[in-house]
Amino acid sequence: MSRYAELIFEGKKYILPVVEGTEKELALDINKLRDESGLITLDPGYKNTGSNTSAITFLDGEQGILRYRGYAIEELAEKSSFLEVAYLLIYGELPNKPTLHKFQEDITKHTMVHENMRKILDGFPSEAHPMGVLSSLISSLTAFYPNSISPTQSPEEVDLNIIRLLAKMPTIAAWSYKNEIGHPLNYPNNSLDYCANFLSMMFAFPTEKYDADPVVIDALNKLLILHADHEQNCSAATVRVVGSSQASLFSAVAGGINALWGPLHGGANQEVIEMLEAIHADGGNVKKYVEKAKDKNSKFRLMGFGHRVYKNYDPRAKIIKGACDNILNKLGVRDPLLEIAKELEHIALNDPYFVERKLYPNVDFYSGIIYKAMGIPTEMFTVMFAIGRLPGWIAQWKEMVEHKLPISRPRQIYVGHPLRPYIPMGNR
Ligand code: CMC
């Protein structure tokens, strides 16, 4: 053991080995601490707890750095395609041409979903939020592919289920929207690539020819890449926790979708646009909302601001902000919400409250403005995040299985009543 820390507790010394990551991040290994000293560590919200080592994504929140498998997010967003990045995250290396071709072809073969899934979809009321429909239908894949629930699947079966999931996600996502608006469902068009196919299932009408705008396809590709993984966030951690009990990949990812839905995580992208719309409807008084966000008596927060790990500008937000003007210009869209967002950012970044707390715009702050310009309805924003994050969830699940990690089972410090006698009903 080359590096370690010493913990002195009640006069006794305990040695805690230090684990060092590729980029010199340091952790104390507390694996044996309880057995040796009776102590556990307490860290609500896992603010300072590493759950595992991982070779997938590197993130330095102080410097604003994000890399997938060692490749800078800026370079991937500019030069690669979403499926290339999906392959990279899941299998560890960028695919060469034939490998990518085969990966795309395999995915294309599995874009259809079982017809009986339509019956499940029919059972949802049209008011159902698409995220609830998405997680339910992804969970129901376990019923259509029962081999997926077996922890002893062969590597080939695991790979097939990964392909199925990647292939069916856009179909199910688009159908969750069609259910909401009560339109007939569009089936996948396998002559189209991943992004164009999704857009066609969202927007094509049976009676009209539909060709997605290449600007929209490009923008979607970039947004999906930027959302593809983010190491041990709330939804990835959920996927790992669910998967650690050897529940199926589909169940684990359904859990991840539910975790993502919350407004503090991926659901923030819907909240941001609703907040910007509210500010616009209220006359565009940005300062009023910044003051409200600072007021500890108000529950209001600046949505799309702040991050658990970024204490600098979120590199994804930087790229999306840069792309915003360009994409809106190319699409000929003038959105007053973009001006409000920029003003909000400017005021917040010069306000001591936000400066002292290192609160910067996160990935959700500008993404909704692009989604809106692309014609994506607000309630589908978090679904878009889920489509993007899917390769990351799969990669995190696969790594967890390959590392043979034990079942996730945190401990606690009990602070309730000590033992007390049962009180008969009449005496309560
Ligand atoms: N507006 C106003 N104040 C804020 C905000 C905000 N958006 N975010 C954090 N703060 C304040 C917070 O009140 C606290 O202040 P104090 O120290 O005086 O109590 C301080 O900053 C630290 O915040 P925290 O809530 O303890 O930090 P956290 O790491 O537990 O939470 C967060 C991180 C992302 C949940 C939080 O910043 C937030 O609620 N942001 C708005 C929701 C949002 O945009 N979420 C999307 C995150 S990025 C997408 C993803 O990957 O999930």
pLDDT at 7 over 80: yes
Residue whose Cα lies nearest atom 45 of ligand 1: it is 264
Find out whether the beta carbon of 265 lies less than 6 Å from any atom of ligand 1: yes
Query: Which H or E run contains 58?
Result: strand 57-60
Kindly give the distance from the C-alpha atom of residue 264 to the centroid of ligand 1, in angstroms, as a whole number.
Answer: 8
Find out whether the beta carbon of 76 lies less than 6 Å from any atom of ligand 1: no
pLDDT digits (tens, 9 = 90+) for 108-167: 999 999 999 999 999 999 899 999 999 999 999 999 999 999 989 999 999 999 999 999
Find out whether the beta carbon of 293 lies less than 6 Å from any atom of ligand 1: yes
Atom of ligand 1 nearest to the CA of 301: 1
Would the pTM of this model clear 0.85, i.e. be above it? yes
pLDDT digits (tens, 9 = 90+) for 21-72: 999 999 999 999 999 999 999 999 999 999 999 999 999 999 999 999 999 9
Sheet holding 71-72, edge to edge: 57-60, 65-68, 71-72
Q: Which of 129, 227, 230, 307 is catalytic?
A: 307
pLDDT at 208 over 90: no
State the residue for tokens 């590096």.
3
What are residue 302's phi and psi, to 5 degrees?
Answer: -75, 105
Comparing CA positions, the residue from 314, 324, 322, 339 lying closest to residue 374 is: 324
Domains of the chain (ranges; CATH) run 4-65 (2.20.28), 73-409 (1.10.580.10)
Find out whether the beta carbon of 40 lies less than 6 Å from any atom of ligand 1: no
Rounded CA separation 203/375 (Å) = 9
